[in-house]
Amino acid sequence: MATTADIKNGMCIEYNDQLFSIVSFQHVKPGKGPAFVRTKLKNVKTGKVIDNTFSSGVRINVVRIERRQYQYLYKDEMGFNFMHTETFEQISVPEAMIDNPGLLKEGFIVEISFHAETETPLTLEMPPFVELEITYTEPGEKGNTATSTALKPATLETGATVMVPIFINTGDVIKVDTRDNTYSERVKNK
């Protein structure tokens, strides 16, 4: 077991029966009173950041987290199914663990974090941007296509809907930001 002297940024610890990664820390030795460690902890599952102060020398439970590359295969009643890119082992992940499941397309590579001792999947991280084809959108009106301020809904090949500029047409391939489900740019023909 480690103590507060071993704290490093990025370290994952168990605190109040939950897993947190250390975002930042500061050892403080006041002129009067005992030393302490001021930390910012990020909940691994929810992403919420909290401030916490540990007394100096307190024992902390360090947890090992492993990040592995998985390829998306398909969705069924059990959840979303992924295959490890090296061992070809398959796992099923519940929809609640994925931020934007509507943007997942067969073959996409994601990163899944596992609790190393229990082999429990903790988080699933999609790539920041994905390229998807538009299967349907209303045609832009003549004269409105010069500006990109006007937006219209577009249905992607995965079934998800995003707002795109008026100059985007059915059949175009666009880059979508997976963090907030927004249009980023049109992909040039390769």
Q: Do 136 and 107 fall within a single domain?
A: no
Query: Where a domain ends, among 86, 110, 125?
Result: 125
What was the pLDDT predicted at 156? 93
| Structural domain boundaries, residue 96 | 65-125
Closest to 153 measured CA to CA, from 134, 179, 172: 134
Q: Do 80 and 107 fall within a single domain?
A: yes
Total of domains in the chain:
3
* Per-residue pLDDT at 148 exceeds 60: no
Question: Could you tell me which residues are beta bridge partners of residue 173?
Answer: 133
pLDDT tier for residue 108 given thresholds of 50, 70 and 90: very high
Q: Which two tokens stand for residue 69?
A: 């590359």
Q: Do 100 and 81 fall within a single domain?
A: yes
pLDDT tier for residue 161 given thresholds of 50, 70 and 90: very high
What's the CATH code of the domain at 148?
2.40.50.140
Task: Show the beta-strand stretches assigned E in 126-160.
Answer: 129-137, 151-156
Closest to 71 measured CA to CA, from 81, 61, 59: 81
